[in-house]
Structure 1
Amino acid sequence: MSLSELGFKDQPFDHLYLLPIGAELPVGLSSKSLLNQLNSTFKKLMTVLSTDELQLIAKLTQLPIGVFPIAVVADQIAYPYLIQPDYFLQKRTKQGLHLTPKTTHFDDKNLAKLSPNQFDSYCAEQLSRYAFAGKLVSLTKKQWKERAQVAYTQHPFIQLASNKRLIIEAVERLNRSMLLGVLNPPEDVAFWRHRVEIVLRPYRSLPPDARYHACNHAITLTISKNYPSFQVNCEACAMNYDYFPMEDRVALQQEVPFEQAVKRIATIERQFDALAEGTPKVITALQKLHTIQQWFPHNSLDENQGPVHRLVASISAAEFPDTPVEPSLLSLQHVKLSTIDSLRFVQPYLATTQEELQQLLENERAEELSTDNQDASNEVVYFSTKGYTLYENEVDVIEEYLSRDEGMTFHLLIQVLKGEATSKVRSLNLHLSPIFGLLRPWPKKLIPQAIKSFW
């Protein structure tokens, strides 16, 4: 159904086409005078429009040339808000789209509250918007959305961000890395971090989903009131930008000087590389750590067994690049140490071969085992039966505890030493005592013999 079929059969104004919408009229509004004012204003404004502009408006509204659509709530009662030109674009693809006061198809400026000069200026602005929208009817709004998203991705700054994505993400990682604390000189590191905040600010201002290309969310297009453009809005990203369909280009909310952005992103990469190259001892240590991790992958060693065990254990969960570590931003971004102390641990072993390091690990294990055996051999046996041994130091612990617990019975002591958390044992909090479970490995029938040897 065309727009002309929705209006009144009799149209009393030369330059207005009245469309009924069934709304309530705001209180205190003289609607008939408003219609007269609109008719005379549009008549005056249309005389200065070009033939092409008048034809574009007619093409958009599908009304005769020189006629402007106005919503009314009755035969001679105007609705005091003008219809957005977006409505006519959408109506081409949504035939059942109707005007109601609750829709978003009306502008938010109340005609009745405008001064004469504001009224004329506002109506002229609306005619320009309608003429602009008339140029867009060759494509559907869905197609314009697709074009806007393509233009966003092709914006020079977004293209730069996409091309330099590896650099941007590497800088973000290293700016939070513990490696910055060991690069020299410290004042240059501080200056680099300060420059990073400035250089990355425009990239960080873009939503993560729209930082390197257009997002995939649903967007809305609204014809701008001030420019021959669409305002594009993504609610999910909380972002707006302008799309100029006649030029097929996008203007970001905050435009960045392109040449300056190109130079700045290259500069912070170069500055970091200089920091890394100026700290060769750190790079050498990282390269050795990477090599040692490859020599002993997936090793869960006890760091208390010796300095080599401590070194290997400290890098068991460390991350390194797939290729050898280099003094560059793109390489060091992949280094993630569990502790910065690994750089200190590796210093004595920078020239150590895999075979030598393996021998050192075995030596530390042997020394640890020897120490354990020596400690065990120094223990004095107090009582032994059927392969189970009670040492003197264990007896000392039991006797010291019994000296403080005069209420302990022989049967209860058996349960405590065996580690049986019976209701009686728990009620007396004996399951928390230092002797609870001391003879857990023993068969229960042998524990009475052990107790009688000292009690």
Structure 2
Amino acid sequence: MGLPERITYQDERYPLLALAPIGKKNKQIRSIGHKFERGLLSRLNDTIMDHIYDNEWDVTKIRAYLNLTGEAVLPVSLQKDETVYPHLLRPELFLWRSLPAEHGLPLKEEFLYHKDFTHLSAEQLYRHIGHVLEDYMFLADVSKHTREHWLKRIADAFHNDPLIRLIHEKREVIESVETMNQSALLSVLKYPEDISYWRHRVEIVMRPYRAMPEDWLDGEKGSCSHEKELHFDSHHRTICCSCEICDFHLYYHVDHHCVSFEEDFDVERAEKRMNTIEKQFNEIAEQNTRLLDQLDQLRALRKKLAAAANTLDESLDTVQLIERYQQQRIDLQEYPVLDMYNKIKHITIPARKASHLLWLSDVELEDVTIFKELPKWLEVLPNQVYPLTHHVLDELQEKLEEVRYGEEDIILTVKGHSLTYAKTQQILDLIHYYGTDYPAHTLTQVLSGKATNKLRTLKLHETRWFGLLSDWPEKHVQKLFNQLEKQGWLMKQQKGYSVSDYAEEVM
């Protein structure tokens, strides 16, 4: 921490300056031989002295920060040609880091003041040195604690900010407003002019809340997990904490343990506005009693069907199998109770809450057109759903047996050669065991019964699939794989084939 003692040089003519070489190849200061440099260092020393007396500054903390002995308080760097480097070092260079003593101080722009102090007037130099010393004293205070300590303090002050406390308090309402603002339910509410005005107000009211990143708000303590940058403002004694990923900046006021943001929000007004838009939405909902009643009816329907969920899910699975066998879709409207269940099984309609906003924001519908089908569903569904659902399942299972492949059913034909379901099963069995181990032409030779040296070496000629399609020309067997892939039985892999999910289900 501080200036490495090995490279630090102090001259009794300039007791308030700590001289150090700058640049990796510049390892030490031999002398200060130039008249211009001596005069410049003397001006710097006198200016520092003036500030100490004029402002009654206690600069001992700077010495502790820089690990200096004696009176020196400001590091000044010299170049290899023994000339003074024209830019002073920023105190951030020494913050929470140890510098190597084997070579000069790092010559990095981020750790240098931009102003060239070598050609400033007395007044300009006085102002510049005052600013620099303020920076060093502030960073000396900051350095008394670790970076992690300050990040924790910043996060603590963030969550204690009045606006953030309001966000935590109103979190449920805020999330409900955001959800409702994007909800498809808005399209079926009456009085679209009122809805449009409400959404316009939402954009205004939500601005303070949207300005705060979600990653900082989660958990009601701490901050986001991303890497942060800290910048220091000695004049206001603030630490600016920035997260590039969150695109967020806040300012921590060290002496008051509080934060401020890039934009100053009126917390009292923000709270009133949030209460108002919740009230406005609830008033709109009150004018849509028919829709609210329909949601209650849908909730009751879903609850009734949930009692027979196992049977209905089995029926839907059976429908999928039938569709795979006959390779065409089934119109579920032929089975109204199944169609109804399929459309409402994934919806979420909780019990009503005191606030319509909080209730409706929790409603999840896949398609608002179900409101049009609701009257028909209410007529179709009996009080007892079990007999009806079991009847539907029985009917579908009968249909499945009708369309299920028989052993001698023809699956496909290649150039006059037909492939039965029985042989398809055996080919899929071969693919299951060897499909990704060997390329397609090797599998073709196995099915064709072509006992090549390679097949004998691999002992594939001894398998039960060898010669399964010996009555097929070999070139047609190769095409067979392409046809099975096109029909969805096989999936092409980087090497060979694998059995498709469709085939797994059908088999």
Structure-1-length-normalised TM-score: 0.70
8 Å CA contact 2:134–2:234 kept in 1: the answer is: no
Q: Is the alpha carbon distance of 1:419 and 1:362 closer, same or farther for their aligned partners in structure 2, counting shifts above 3 Å?
A: closer
Q: For 1:204 and 1:195, how far apart are their aligned partners in 2? A: 14
Distance 2:117 2:131 in 1: 13
Aligned to 1:238: 247
1:296 to 1:334, Cα distance in 2 relative to 1, 3 A: same
- 1:336 maps to a residue whose letter is E
- Aligned pairs for 1:353-432 (under 5 A) are 355=383, 415=418
2:18–2:72 contact (8 Å) kept in structure 1: no
* Residue 294 of structure 1: how far off its partner (Å): 1.6
CA RMSD of aligned residues (A): 4.3
**Which of 184, 189, 203 is equivalent to 1:183?**
189
Aligned amino acid, residue 254 of structure 1: E
Q: 1:449 aligns to what?
A: none
CA distance 1:230–1:163, shift in 2 (3 Å): same
Counterpart secondary structure, 2:365: coil
Which 10-residue stretch deviates more, 293-302 or 273-282?
A: 293-302
Structure 1 residues not aligned, in runs of 5+: 377-387, 389-410, 432-455
Counterpart residue type for residue 339 of structure 1: D
Q: 1:21 touches 1:100 (CA, 8 Å); kept in 2?
A: yes
TM score, norm. by length of structure 2:
0.64
Cα distance, 1:19 vs. partner?
2.1
Q: 1:312 aligns with which of 318, 341, 351?
A: 341
Residue 83 (structure 1) aligns with? 89
Match of 2:18 in 1: 17
Contact 1:166–1:330 under 8 Å retained in 2:
yes
Distance in 1, matches of 2:415 and 2:92, equals 89
* Partner secondary structure for residue 259 of structure 2: strand
Relative to 1, partners in 2 of residues 1:95 and 1:349: Cα closer, same or farther, differing over 3 Å?
same
Q: How big is the shift at 1:163?
A: 2.3
Who is 2:5 aligned against? 5
Contact 1:307–1:345 (CA under 8 A) maintained in structure 2 = no
- Counterpart CA distance in 2 for 1:169 and 1:69 is 53
- Label 1:318 to 1:70 Cα distance change in 2 as closer, same or farther (>3 A): same
Residue equivalent to 1:276: 285
Aligned runs of 1:46-195 on 2, under 5 Å? Answer: 46-51=52-57, 53-61=58-66, 62-65=68-71, 67-73=73-79, 77-91=83-97, 94=98, 99-102=105-108, 104-112=110-118, 117-195=123-201
1:250 equivalent among 259, 281, 292: 259
**In structure 1, what is the equivalent of residue 29 of structure 2?**
none
Amino acid of the residue matched to residue 181 of structure 1?
Answer: S
Residue 436 of structure 1 corresponds to none
- How far does the alpha carbon of each residue in 1:113-134 deviate from its partner, in whole angstroms, 9 at most, with x for none? 7565443322211222223334
The aligned counterpart of 1:328 is 356
Asked whether the equivalents of residues 2 and 65 of structure 2 are also in contact (C-alpha less than 8 Å), the reply is no
Q: CA deviation at 1:332?
A: 1.6
Aligned-residue offset at 1:178? 0.7
Quick one: distance in 1 between partners of 2:184 and 2:39?
Answer: 74
CA contact (8 A) 2:250 2:261 kept: yes
Contact (CA 8 Å) 2:4, 2:99: kept in 1 or not?
Answer: no
Partners of 2:421 and 2:293 in 1: CA distance: 55
Give the superposition deviation at 1:260.
Answer: 1.2
1:360 CA drift (Å): 7.4
* Shift, 1:312, TM fit: 3.1
Larger radius of gyration: 1
In structure 1, how many angstroms separate the alpha carbons of the residues matched to 2:135 and 2:252?
A: 14
Q: Following the alignment from structure 2 to structure 1, what is the Cα–Cα distance between the partners of residues 65 and 55?
A: 16
Query: Which of these residues, 279, 283, 288, is aligned with residue 297 of structure 2?
Result: 288
Give SS of 2:185's match.
helix
Structure 2 counterpart of 1:5, which letter? E
One-letter amino acid of the structure 1 residue matched with residue 358 of structure 2: L
- CA deviation after TM superposition for structure 1 residue 194, in Å: 1.0
User: Structure 2 CA distance, aligned partners of 1:348 and 1:230?
Assistant: 64
Q: Does the Cα contact within 8 Å between 1:203 and 1:211 map onto a contact in 2?
A: no
User: 1:442 maps to what in 2?
Assistant: none
Percent sequence identity over matched residues?
A: 28
**How has the CA–CA distance of structure 1 residues 231 and 114 changed in structure 2, closer, same or farther, with 3 Å as cutoff?**
farther
Tell whether the 8 Å contact from 2:336 to 2:380 is kept in structure 1 after alignment: no
Q: Give me the whole-angstrom Cα distance separating, in 1, the residues matched to 2:421 and 2:52.
A: 104
Equivalent residues of 1:3, 1:63 under 8 A apart: no
CA distance in 1 between counterparts of 2:379 and 2:355 reads 20
Are 1:223 and 2:229 matched, yes or no?
Answer: no
Distance across 2 between alignment mates of 1:188 and 1:337: 22
Q: Please say if 1:341 is aligned against 2:369.
A: yes
Distance 1:184 1:95 in 2: 70
Unaligned stretches of 5+ in structure 2? 27-35, 317-330, 403-407, 409-413, 425-471, 484-507
Distance 1:328 1:224 in 2: 47
Query: How far apart, in 2, do the equivalents of 1:257 and 1:55 lie?
Result: 41
8 Å CA contact 1:152, 1:249 repeated in 2: yes
Q: Counterpart of 1:141 in structure 2: which amino acid?
A: R
